[in-house]
Amino acid sequence: MQDNKSISIIARTAFAFACAPLAVGRLAIILATLVVYHSIISAKADSCPSIKDEINTDRPDVTNSSVVTPPGSLQIENGVNFSARGDDRVIDGTNTRLRAGITNCLEVLVDTPTYFAKVGSSKNSGFSDVAPALKWQISPVPGKVDLSAVFGLALPTGSASIAGRGAQPYLQFPWSWELHSGWGLSGMFTEFFRPSDPASKLITEATFVIEKRVTERVSLFVEYVGDYPQNGSSAQLLNWGGLYRLTPNQQVDFHVALGLNHNAPSYIVGVGYSVRFDELFPVRRSSHSIAPRN
């Protein structure tokens, strides 16, 4: 009975956070709730991913994975996008994210600089920032619900015209709920802080995904993405795509996004490849045996 109540609370809370922008002041409440809830459910480290589990990536959708990389593993996720906004056409790549499991339920990740090239012109072309982050898998809880907390910081290493000015921290909560017959729901709530931007020092991003596992190797998804700046109008996208697992540790993917309003890109088309290397470095592991997740 208590497990069912826990599932219901987590699901309602995550759904509400993912579907609407929140005030900055409520972030403290969210963090406090997660810490308290973590102590209540007593999530065990041996329930987090292990090398027996197949690769689980932060792409191709905007919504990141709600689970971490197995301890001792290095995951490399890459992609290239072609996008249009008005008369401008842009190619960006390689969109590389490095994810390393440093212990049970905890990973460090780094977004390496991505080059944005305006087709037919060098104007407004350049690199994005390098952005390290720490990801803690707070769950799992009964009912196949997963929840993580991510704190990252984009360092001012890229072009100001591409990435903006100054350091830009962010706080992020990806979640997922596995349903029946291969269906799943997921989403993500993110607060981007831009202290050096006088126009909009805060951008709230909310996403919501419906996913279907078609076969053991193929999954498809449809995703809503909304960016809500503190000042100004929102930018909203409808994103869909899929992935194919070549092996348990390798995947290829694609996605297509259409802008839902004038502030969003007209369209984005992207492809990617990800791979995971296991047991690359020693880490402290749980003393309990680790069973594969279902």
| Whole-angstrom distance, CA of residue 223 vs CA of residue 213 | 15
205 backbone dihedrals φ, ψ, rounded to 5°: -120, 130
Cα-trace Rg, the chain: 19
pLDDT in tens, 166-213: 999 999 999 999 999 999 999 999 999 999 988 889 999 999 999 999
CA nearest to 210, candidates 177, 253, 244, 255: 177
pLDDT in tens, 34-73: 544 544 444 445 578 999 999 999 999 999 999 999 999 9
Q: 1-13 b/e with 16+ CB inside 10 Å = b?
A: eeeeebbebbbeb
- C-alpha pair distances (Å), 82 with each of 24, 76, 87, 116, 257: 33, 21, 13, 10, 10
List Cβ neighbours of 158 (8 Å cut-off, separation of 6 or more). 113, 126, 127, 128, 129, 130
DSSP string, 103-153: ETTEEEEEE---EEEETT--TT-EE--BEEEEEEE---BTTTEEEEEEEEE
Residue-level pLDDT at 155: 98
| Cβ atoms within 10 Å of 50's Cβ, excluding its own | 21
For the chain, what's the residue count? 294
Tell me the angle at which helices 2-19 and 27-41 cross, rounded to the nearest 10 degrees: 160
pLDDT in tens, 70-91: 999 999 999 999 999 988 999 9
